[in-house]
Amino acid sequence: MTFHTARPVPPAVRRELLTLDDAGRPAVPRTDDEGGAPLRCCLRHSRPGERVALVSYAPLRRWAAETGADPGAYDEQGPVFVHAEECAGPEGADLPFTRAHRTLRRYSADGRILGGRLVEAPEDFGPALTEAFADPGVALVHVRAVEYGCFLYEVRRD
């Protein structure tokens, strides 16, 4: 059986984004009175009363900086919610945010899109990721919301 690990926004990156996000703006923390925001730092939905911030994040750009890749026009940034205060990180190993349609966008080692796939049911995420990584050219996969296209998390080749 193949296991896939969802990678949250790392703690050091979350702290950077709260100071100055990837669009060059400081975060504006707020209290989430209702809860339900998909937090990318711990890969769960916010709870009522938690302090969160909506920041601009460029996950492929940051990955490219680590690996030396040049994503060119595929370098994009978008909105993500993170905790505005300390975050303990993910609570479990299950793939998060699978209870809605998602797009799995595949990227090569040089940062180019290799394709994508719509995943509609929670039980289809594991097989879809296994299929993606069966292609030796796939270096990482971004899981994104369908309705807004927002980045949710990354899965890298083990």
Q: In angstroms, what CA-CA distances link 122 with 13, 16, 59, 63, 96?
A: 28, 32, 24, 26, 9
Residue-wise pLDDT tens digits, 116-149: 999 999 999 999 999 999 999 999 999 999 988 8
Q: Does the pLDDT of residue 33 top 70, yes or no? A: yes
Q: Is the dihedral of CA 20, 155, 31, 99 positive or negative?
A: positive
What is the value of pTM for the model shown? 0.93
Q: Does the pLDDT of residue 45 top 80, yes or no? A: yes
Residue-wise pLDDT tens digits, 68-119: 999 999 999 999 999 999 999 998 888 999 999 999 999 999 999 999 999 9
